[in-house]
Structure 1
Amino acid sequence: MTPVFQFRMVVDTPPTDAQTVALVALPDTPGVEVAPEEHVGVVWFDRSAPRLATAIVSATHDLERVGLRPIRVEPRDQVTIPEAAARLGRPAEWFRSWLTGTFAEPGAPSPVPMRPAGQERFFSWDDIESWTRERLDPDLPDGPPVLTAAALVLRLRRVGHGVDGLPELLGLIGIRP
């Protein structure tokens, strides 16, 4: 089962109606939101990919194809058990049994105290990811460092063109242009 990564990408301008229609037609793109007070748009992704980095790169290319420039990537913080299971590439019922059912153990993440959405309760993604890495899968790939690195790369794409000495700076992290 291919994991589904959920994240949002902030774009530099609110999408036009035509861009919104094009984005909503993409597979794995559930929604577009405009933040007029910030003069930006936000595109929510549920992207199937083997790794989070791959999902972010493909979402970036999709945004650029419709004429939008991504400036930031952010996690979706609150997840249901099925969403968490999809991110981790596990069946929802298997994951549910660890969190609330047969195998529930002390120390497992608790639902976030908030209004329920239907029957599903929400959990903090950071809590679930940390607990899963500790208790169930120490080799869990792609954590928050991938989001941090992606955000830095998007920022560098935006500001790096005019930086004198950029090749030398990239050498600090082992990138040789």
Structure 2
Amino acid sequence: MMPVFQFRMVVDTPPTDAQAVALVGLPDTPGVEVAPEEQVGVVWFDRAAPRLATAIVSATHDLERVGLRPIRVEPRDEVTIPEAASRLGRPEEWFRTWLTGTFGEPGAPVPVSMRPAGRERFFSWDDIEVWTRERLDPGVPDGPPVLTAAALVLRLRRVGRGVDGLPELLSLVDIRP
């Protein structure tokens, strides 16, 4: 059975109605979200592929076929407070007080789903990771290396066309196992 990878891709403009319909008609039926305050769109994928990199490449091509330009890829998964604390190497109760307890602050991530996991609610890992890095600990590591690499490639695609000497700069990419 082929694994299914969950991620979201931010596109440079909100999708039109026709683009959203075309995306929802894809085999993996991605979800589409518009973020008007940021003037971007977000497309959520559950993409079956042998590897995450393959899933990201095929999603990028699908977005481009409907006229959207992906500018960022992000992980998409939901976690409980204990799971988030474990990923961050922090005590659960310390983390809980920052999110929901006495240290709770405006702008802290809120549950994305009212679906409880026992007594726990689910939060977006992306939101927790970014918020923790910005507010509590700038040393929080980046996501999986393949997502970091994909984000860099998408950014290079966006800015690279206007870079004088790009082939020379690309010669610096020497990745050996």
Query: Alpha-carbon deviation of 1:77?
Result: 3.5
What's the counterpart of residue 163 of structure 1? 163
Moved over 3 A (4+): 112-116, 118-126
How many pairs align?
Answer: 132
What's the counterpart of residue 37 of structure 1? 37
Deviation sequence 1:89-119 (CA, Å, 0-9, x none): xxxxxxxxxx9xxxxxxxxxx8x97564166
Q: C-alpha separation between the residues in 1 aligned to 2:117 and 2:78?
A: 15
Query: Alpha-carbon deviation of 1:30?
Result: 3.1
What's the counterpart of residue 117 of structure 1? 115
TM-score by length of 2: 0.65
Question: CA separation of 1:25/1:118 partners in 2, compared to 1, >3 Å: closer, same or farther?
Answer: farther
Query: Alpha-carbon deviation of 1:57?
Result: 0.2
What's the counterpart of residue 154 of structure 2? 154
Q: C-alpha separation between the residues in 2 aligned to 1:68 and 1:123?
A: 28
Secondary structure of the corresponding residue to residue 10 of structure 1: strand
Task: Please show how residues 64-83 of structure 1 align to structure 2 within 5 Å.
Answer: 64-78=64-78
Q: C-alpha separation between the residues in 2 aligned to 1:58 and 1:79?
A: 26
What's the counterpart of residue 49 of structure 2? 49
What's the counterpart of residue 20 of structure 2? 20
Question: CA separation of 1:67/1:77 partners in 2, compared to 1, >3 Å: closer, same or farther?
Answer: same
Q: CA RMSD in A?
A: 2.9
Query: Would the aligned equivalents of 2:76 and 2:124 in 1 still touch at CA under 8 Å?
Result: no
Q: Give the strand-richer structure, 1 or 2.
A: 2
Q: C-alpha separation between the residues in 1 aligned to 2:77 and 2:166?
A: 33
Q: C-alpha separation between the residues in 1 aligned to 2:152 and 2:29?
A: 23
Query: Alpha-carbon deviation of 1:157?
Result: 0.4
What's the counterpart of residue 11 of structure 2? 11
Q: C-alpha separation between the residues in 2 aligned to 1:30 and 1:73?
A: 14
Query: Would the aligned equivalents of 2:6 and 2:77 in 1 still touch at CA under 8 Å?
Result: no
Q: Relative contact order: is structure 1 or structure 2 higher (C-alpha 8 Å, sep ≥ 6)?
A: 1
Query: Alpha-carbon deviation of 1:33?
Result: 0.3
Question: CA separation of 1:124/1:16 partners in 2, compared to 1, >3 Å: closer, same or farther?
Answer: closer
Query: Would the aligned equivalents of 2:9 and 2:42 in 1 still touch at CA under 8 Å?
Result: yes
